[in-house]
Structure 1
């Protein structure tokens, strides 16, 4: 069942190859890559993400899109690529991590899951396929990523790494990014916890690491824009990090000791966050009025 952007957002609508009985499977020689993208009113960006996925030279890829009930033309784009998307659904959700949980549950058994944002770009994944074939006992694959500053247009290489066994040593340095993290859809018992806030993906990745062997690839697999949710709300950013640390039983004070400059930078961002600027402006305007 497909639709256009003119629909009742209170109802669920879906489309893609699966709705026509076309399903994909994962084998030893052709591992299935499951790409989950969540979107809400992302008509101006999501097409570039779609193109980066369907242009891959490796064909055993399933693409799952979870839409939160868009009304800006996003669904027109999904319909346009209906024969290239394996499954998409549009319905109200409880936020980005609720939508991600839906997407993960739609992934085929035994596939390799990666979460891409609706403005992310997937690069060549052939090196990932090679590593999966060479490491049959592997559960996770970590790659590097490219950060694209949407304001300056500057692209920066970000080197990810497998976290230290003593997690507090590099927890605040963000060794993991979900755009460069593949995990096998096998015996997954932990999902995203929306109540943790903007960094709930960190907990998901750390819990996935505990499931088994992890391999690191020294190449970028995806590019993402900086200036997203976790950048805009810096105070919530810090709160979320503390919550994730508590879930992982990481001593946040040891984290600060091992990465003091990182924490200070986060704190400064919080101080000059948009909400703080508005609060200060209102405060000084009231003071000027009183005088």
Structure 2
């Protein structure tokens, strides 16, 4: 039978779970320092910070070295895209909850605290696998554009990606149960991962912004790639047949090309 101190330690661990923050970066000198400072300034202190660099050739490594005493682990080597980098981070992290923060994303100072309070007060906290929040889209100068994000719903999510990676917390149990990211995807791997549980995903929602995400206008080429990968993810997970997926993909391509002509 566990002693009183063991019980207290278990209680503290439950109230103060370890958070792993993973950042995949590549030639990110422009905004990386801002992002690092937003993470290291968090009011919630029980977190580890992991940076996976893809072999940057600009000033990125100098910035990482400047803050290496605040970084739990980092490495710089070529990778096979963001999901390959995230998987490398997952192999090193020890957190109960895991967040993926881009090199140009900024966390609000109390973001981690907001998530942890939400999780520890949740009536099904032991079963939670995924928590999302609102995020604030901003331009390059951090001028607010709009607030986005919505509660996860299978009926909506199986049609479109309705969450934003900077506004997501993943339980380690999610990866233990469903595996890591499929690195053959280049822009929609986070969507594919969350399709795997289907309507069995145990999700919750924080109805307030937790981060700022820079958006500089998504190119038509990237939208086309995301569209193709989204349909591939649905076929892979049995959401759509290959035939229906191909038909809907063609319609999307025509729509995006039409929009590009008049944008």
TM-score of Structure 1 vs Structure 2, range by shorter chain:
0.7 to 0.9
Once the two structures are TM-superposed, the CA of residue 264 in structure 1 deviates from its matched residue by 7.5
Q: Partners of 2:208 and 2:89 in 1: how far apart?
A: 26
Once the two structures are TM-superposed, the CA of residue 250 in structure 1 deviates from its matched residue by 1.7
> Structure 2 vs 1, CA of residues 155 and 101 (structure 1 numbering), >3 Å: closer, same or farther?
same
Query: Which residue of the other structure, out of 85, 100, 103, is the alignment partner of 1:118?
Result: 103
Contact kept, 8 Å, 1:233 with 1:270, in 2: the verdict is: no
Once the two structures are TM-superposed, the CA of residue 248 in structure 1 deviates from its matched residue by 2.5
Q: Partners of 1:267 and 1:222 in 2: how far apart?
A: 34
Once the two structures are TM-superposed, the CA of residue 106 in structure 1 deviates from its matched residue by 1.2
Partner SS for 2:15: coil
Comparing 113-122 with 205-214, which one deviates more in the overlay? 205-214
- Map 1:99-118 → 2, pairs under 5 A: 99-108=85-94, 110-118=95-103
Contact kept, 8 Å, 1:178 with 1:205, in 2: the verdict is: no
- Map 1:1-291 → 2, pairs under 5 A: 27-108=13-94, 110-123=95-108, 124-125=110-111, 126-135=113-122, 136-137=125-126, 138-150=128-140, 153-164=143-154, 166=155, 169-186=156-173, 187-207=176-196, 212-227=201-216, 232-251=221-240, 267-271=254-258
> Structure 2 vs 1, CA of residues 158 and 237 (structure 1 numbering), >3 Å: closer, same or farther?
same
Partner SS for 1:27: helix
Work out the number of aligned pairs and report it.
242
Alpha-carbon deviations, 1:168-196, whole Å to 9, x = none? x4544422211111111132442111223
Once the two structures are TM-superposed, the CA of residue 40 in structure 1 deviates from its matched residue by 0.7
Partner SS for 1:238: helix
- Larger gyration radius, structure 1 or structure 2: 1
Structure 1 unaligned spans of 5+: 1-25, 278-291
Structure 2 unaligned spans of 5+: 1-11
Alpha-carbon deviations, 1:15-40, whole Å to 9, x = none? xxxxxxxxxxx921211111110011
Q: Partners of 2:79 and 2:132 in 1: how far apart?
A: 29
Q: Partners of 1:150 and 1:200 in 2: how far apart?
A: 25
> Structure 2 vs 1, CA of residues 56 and 194 (structure 1 numbering), >3 Å: closer, same or farther?
same
CA RMSD of aligned residues (A): 3.2
Q: Partners of 1:127 and 1:74 in 2: how far apart?
A: 30
Contact kept, 8 Å, 1:36 with 1:100, in 2: the verdict is: yes
